[in-house]
Amino acid sequence: MRTESDKMSEKDAITKEYMQDNEIFADAFNYYLYNGEQVIKPEQLRPLDTTQIVLPYGSVEQSVPEQRYRDVLKMATAMTDDHAAYLLLGIEDQSEIHNAMPVKNMFYDAGQYVKQVKSAAKSHKAAGDKPETSADFLSGFYKTDKLLPVITLTMYFGADEWTAPRDLHSMLEADENILKFVDNYRIHLIAPADIADEDFAKFHTELNLALKYVKYSKNKNKLSDMIQEDTAYRKVSRKTADMLNIVTNSGLHYAEGKESVDMCEAIEGIRNDAREEGREEGILKTLVDLVKDGILTLADAAKRANMSVSEFEIKTGLKA
């Protein structure tokens, strides 16, 4: 029997694989950084090692290095006004809400800057460069050296609103007099519930369809109507359909081996569920009215609904 941990691991694995695609990756950052303008090109992305080894400063004789893995990390070239900006872009996928996301992402970003500083020092040493100042000598990072910006984007593949902290200050127990001396770290977040329906068009890949599907995945009637109306759902790539099926637990049905999926057909089971839920709600409403009018006892109404009295009370809010 698959545990909740197994299901979460499966969700994390498939979203990580999905966001590794250069077109999807670029689309997410173009939406967030450039309001949908196609500044970052998929062909200009280069995958980087996601391993981060953190070694404490100072004496390390008895310290154990800590190894962490980012979900996705790429080098990007963003062209704006004939000017090239080189960026390190990371994505952290979340199928569930994470209450310590600011600290988690801050850790990864800081690690990337540490790696760049160490890389610069190593390059100077290999080239036989002579430090001009004591500051150059102490850090190995020369005054003329520059770091590449690191931006981490959290992709939340859940229908619920992101209720966890979005910045470091929200996690701290301190008054304003102290907080003003603590640098705040804000997460960069794409959450389907935050996206207005008209803004989904700012995505230029199937990430548009995927996030819109996730947003309404808990509202079966709305989801069904949306897929019926949007013809783009008639031909969705298998990788998008597979990802959505797992992260939303939709129970979609489609044939194996096909490269594309007609979501209208695949979602037929969900439409049936919605109709059945609507029928059940109608029956319960009628039974509740009969109990309130004194025509049926609570026990009789529960029996007609094929429920125990306690189940009927929970479903309807009535009490014996």
What band does 59 get if pLDDT is binned at 50, 70 and 90?
Answer: very low
User: Does 275 have pLDDT greater than 80?
Assistant: no
pLDDT at 308: 85
Burial environment of residue 10 by CB neighbours within 10 A (0 to 12, 13 to 18, 19 or more): middle
What is the tens place of the pLDDT at every residue in 182-219?
999 999 999 999 999 999 999 999 999 999 999 999 99
Q: How far is CA 263 from the centre of its chain?
A: 22
- Higher-confidence residue of 65 and 163: namely 163
Q: What is the pLDDT of residue 264?
A: 86
Task: Give me 45's structure tokens.
Answer: 């992305």
Mean pLDDT of the chain: 87
The pLDDT assigned to 137 comes to 92
Examine the pLDDT at 54 and tell me if it is beyond 90: no
Helix 220-229 and helix 268-292: axis angle, to 10°? 140
Per-residue pLDDT of 148-193, as tens digits, reads 999 999 999 999 999 999 999 999 999 999 999 999 999 999 999 9
Mean pLDDT computed over 129-146: 93
Quick check: 68 pLDDT over 90? no
3-state secondary structure of 17: helix
Instruction: Tell me the mean pLDDT in the region 246-260.
Output: 86
